[in-house]
Amino acid sequence: MATYAIGDIQGCYTELLHLLEQIRFDPARDKLWLVGDLVNRGPDSLQVLRYVKSLSDSAVTVLGNHDLHLLAVSEGIAELHRSDTLDEVLAAPDRDELLTWLRQQRLMHAEGEYVLVHAGLLPQWSVKKAGKLANEVEEVLRGDDYATFLSRMYGNAPHGWEDGLEGYKRLRVIVNAFTRLRVCTLQGEMEFRFKGEVEKIPEGYLPWFELPDRKSRKATVIFGHWSALGLKVTPNVIALDTGCLWGGPMTAIRLEDRQLFQVDCKSPVEKNW
């Protein structure tokens, strides 16, 4: 039995299958940990959703910002962007079944020394606290009033965490940290416009995982979301978004020995956004 963590898929179904073939993935024996953003921008989001759903307990996936965007679009809350490739999902005969399944997925998965998230963790959050906060959002997403939450989800404020936050402001900060975070101040104030290389981070900000007093630093956090960061493997950080969508490889890591596996992108998407 082996556990493989895989970076952002974003509808790149062909590359996913090639990667699984390379690692000889056996769903009866092995497990996949997926960092979220299963869908969008790539050509085959529908096939990715169907396949990951079919794996049942053999796959653990956390929600990314593009996954949440799909849910919001499906409810008429958000509009499709020019570069979105979600029409096939929205028109599929099994659309409702797939979207209901997607709403059941987590924002965070913790097991042993590892924590799986899409984007990051705020410095004030221990693994235990982060898990409880993730559960707050997961319960709302799985509840009958999930559409109201999705309608209040968008926005950058508040920019940081305060224990006294309540209601949708509280839920918005939690979602933004788990699905959009790249850089923040020492106090955990998030900046969302920056998407570039580490060398170009605005003054006063650091990658969230480099904050010296981060309360989750004893765990190994596996994440994606930041394609310009690329592959990064340290004792307590595993970043796996290697930009398959844009022509980079798709990357997997076997957690038992940290061996890396990669396949090339077959049909890169042009950045037009």
List pLDDT tens digits, range 218-249: 999 999 999 999 999 999 999 999 999 999 99
Residue 169: pLDDT over 70: yes
115 touches 218 (CB < 8 A):
no
Among 94, 117, 108, CA closest to 209: 117
High-pLDDT (> 70) share of the chain, %: 97
- Single pTM value for the model: 0.96
Place of tokens 């798709």: 250
* 49: CATH: 3.60.21.10
Pairing assessment for the beta strands 59-61 and 31-34 based on DSSP bridges: parallel
- Of 179, 67, 170, whose CA–CA distance to 120 is shortest? 179
- State how many domains the chain has: 1
For β-strands 183-184 and 206-207, DSSP reports them as antiparallel
- pLDDT-based confidence at residue 270 (cuts at 50, 70, 90): low
Average pLDDT over residues 163-173: 97
Q: Is residue 268, in this structure, part of any structural domain at all? A: no
Q: Does residue 272 carry a pLDDT above 70?
A: no
On the question of pLDDT at 51 being above 60, the answer is: yes
Q: How confident is the model at residue 266 (pLDDT cuts 50, 70, 90)?
A: confident
Answer whether residue 273 shows pLDDT above 50: no
Residue 272 lies in a domain: no
Q: What is the pLDDT of residue 139?
A: 98
**Structure tokens belonging to residue 207:** 């990658």
What's the whole-number average pLDDT of the chain? 96
Domain that holds residue 81: 3-263
Encode pLDDT of 83-134 as tens digits.
Answer: 999 999 999 999 999 999 999 999 999 999 999 999 999 999 999 999 999 9
> Does residue 211 contact residue 125 with C-beta atoms inside 8 Å?
no
Separation between Cα atoms, residue 17 and residue 246, nearest integer Å: 18
Let me know if residue 269 belongs to a domain. no
Classify residue 132: in a domain, yes or no: yes
Residue 227 lies in a domain: yes
Angstrom distance (rounded) from CA 108 to CA 167: 20
User: Is residue 259 one of the residues assigned to a domain?
Assistant: yes
The answer to whether residue 77 sits within a structural domain is: yes
Examine residue 270 and state whether it is found in any structural domain, yes or no. no
Q: Could you tell me the two tokens for 152?
A: 């209040």
